[in-house]
Amino acid sequence: MSQARLVKIEKDILGYNDAYAAENRKLFADKGILALNLVSSPGSGKTTLLCRTVGDLKSRLAVAVIEGDQQTTFDADRIRATGVPALQVNTGKGCHLDAHMIGHAVGKLGVADDSVLFVENVGNLVCPAGFDLGEAAKVVILSVTEGEDKPLKYPDMFAAAELMILNKVDLLPHLSFDVDRCVRYARKINPAIRLIELSATTGQGLDAWYGWIDEKRQAVLSDRALALETKLAAVRRTLAEGA
């Protein structure tokens, strides 16, 4: 297959995905849902962090989870054990979730208005970077048990992410991981990326993580309120003109 043909196929696939992503984004905006796309390599501690997060937040926020894996329902089972609704999406040989999958999953899950939806993507720092799901932000999770050069090796993912969580920092005394170097590499790729150092095991950094979620959620709710006010004002103008 020629290079030109490959480029056309890739553009067609991404264009198809982006159309569904736009539908998802409108749905999330209309319902006041904060959707976060969690991405990482396998073994970063993403599911452990997510279980801790939804367990802590469920008493004050409506939360739901979409789990992406090639096979099994292990991760969704772990989330449901916390008392939070979760839906497993198995991608088979696919290496990422796409916007069409998310749209169907949201319909089946029945995500509540004004809630937080966490999407745990397939463990992979390559393919998920290129697929918009309609989310408010991508959150890339990097464990200190991985190399600090990951941002340079997988630049597209770190360029696409709004937040980098440096996870398992409780293990730093036992490792040679250079935090400053990792952060420097990440900001070389994405100068605007925000950083939270965190341990889902000890709880270090969780307040900062939850504060960031609250900040993003308030922005979503404010946008929804403004949109509703704008629609209401338009209806009033229409009624006034008709009178």
pLDDT averaged per 10 residues, the chain (length 243): 52 78 96 97 95 97 96 94 96 90 95 97 92 97 96 97 98 96 98 97 97 97 92 86 75
CA 64, 68, 69, 70 torsion: positive or negative?
positive
Q: How many structural domains compose the chain?
A: 1
**In the chain, what percentage of residues exceed pLDDT 70?**
94
What pLDDT is stored for residue 9 in this prediction? 45
Residue 127 belongs to domain spanning: 3-242
CA 154, 20, 219, 200 torsion: positive or negative?
negative
CB atoms within 10 A of CB 70: 13
What pLDDT is stored for residue 64 in this prediction? 98
> CATH code at 39?
3.40.50.300
Tokens of 124: 């992979």
What pLDDT is stored for residue 16 in this prediction? 84
What pLDDT is stored for residue 163 in this prediction? 98
What pLDDT is stored for residue 2 in this prediction? 53
Query: Phi then psi for 38, rounded to 5 degrees?
Result: -90, 125
